[in-house]
Amino acid sequence: MLLTVDDVHASYGRFDVLRGITLGVAAGEIVAVLGPNGAGKSTLLKTIAGFLAPRRGTIRLGGEQVGGLRPRALLDKGVTYVMQRSSIFGKLTILENLELGAYIRPWTSEVMQDIERVLLLFPRLAERRHQRAEGLSGGERRMLEIGRALLLNPKLLLLDEPTMGLAPLVMDLIFEKVLELRAAGTTVLMVEQNARLALEVSDRAYVLEQGQTRIEGRGQELLASDAVRRAYLGGAR
């Protein structure tokens, strides 16, 4: 496994949010994390990314214990986190936002080649590369955030609600791009409220409840599960 989370507990003050989460992500997979509001999904990503230290348990990346490392140290090890809230620089152009994505890399021709690859992946951004990012739609902002994260050449890309607030057609486009990332070799762990779409594109998925792993399995298996459908997909078959 590229990422292994074993019996992880994490808290905000005295309030336990994660209460023994266990999951794994193999290299080249898309793995979805599902569950109701308050289940601990976003807290899990924040803990893996180093924004919250685990109180107990282990987090391993490629076999190396990384639980408790700071976000910058995890960036250096290849863990990139696209947050739920918007993080673009609106007064800068799309191109300038992408250039900032490579801030921990030496500025070489390779960086510019990687920027061009991101623009090929997201043609909408390429068309508007010299426009300020503040004029982008919600879906385009999400594309820019994901594209900027890719400039760090992540071993593991963490996506927190990549389709939140987007129109259905834009949701489909974002998930198409996630599939393209996997085809190009990027490993993705994503939290997503749209359980049906997430299961359709994921290799495997975990369902969290009250800070614990309740259900796990192949994406298509969970999509066909009556228990999962009743709880998260709006009814049985």
Cα 157-82-135 angle, rounded to 5 deg? 135
Give me the amino acid identity at 24. Answer: G
165 φ/ψ sector (left φ>0, alpha ψ -120 to 50, else beta)? left
153 token code pair: 């050449």
76 token code pair: 């250096």
| Burial track 175-205 (b if 16+ CB lie within 10 A, e otherwise) | bebbeebbeeebbbbbbbbbbebbbebbbbb
- 201's enclosing H/E stretch is helix 195-201
pLDDT, residue 237, reads: 46
Domains of the chain: 3-85+153-232 (3.40.50.300)
> Distances in Å between the alpha carbon of 90 and those of 146, 150, 159, 232?
15, 19, 21, 35
Strand residues in 133-222 grouped as ranges (E): 156-160, 187-191, 204-209, 212-218
**Beta strand pairing call for 79-82 and 64-65:** unpaired
pLDDT tens track for 69-127? 999 999 999 999 999 888 999 999 999 999 999 988 888 999 999 999 999 999 999 99
pLDDT tens track for 141-199? 999 999 999 999 999 999 999 999 899 999 999 999 999 999 999 999 999 989 999 99
Residue 236 confidence class, pLDDT cut points 50, 70, 90: very low
Residue 116 near residue 129, CB atoms below 8 Å:
no
Distance (Å, whole) CA 86 – CA 206: 25
Strand residues in the chain grouped as ranges (E): 3-12, 15-25, 30-34, 56-61, 64-65, 79-82, 156-160, 187-191, 204-209, 212-218
Residue 234 confidence class, pLDDT cut points 50, 70, 90: low
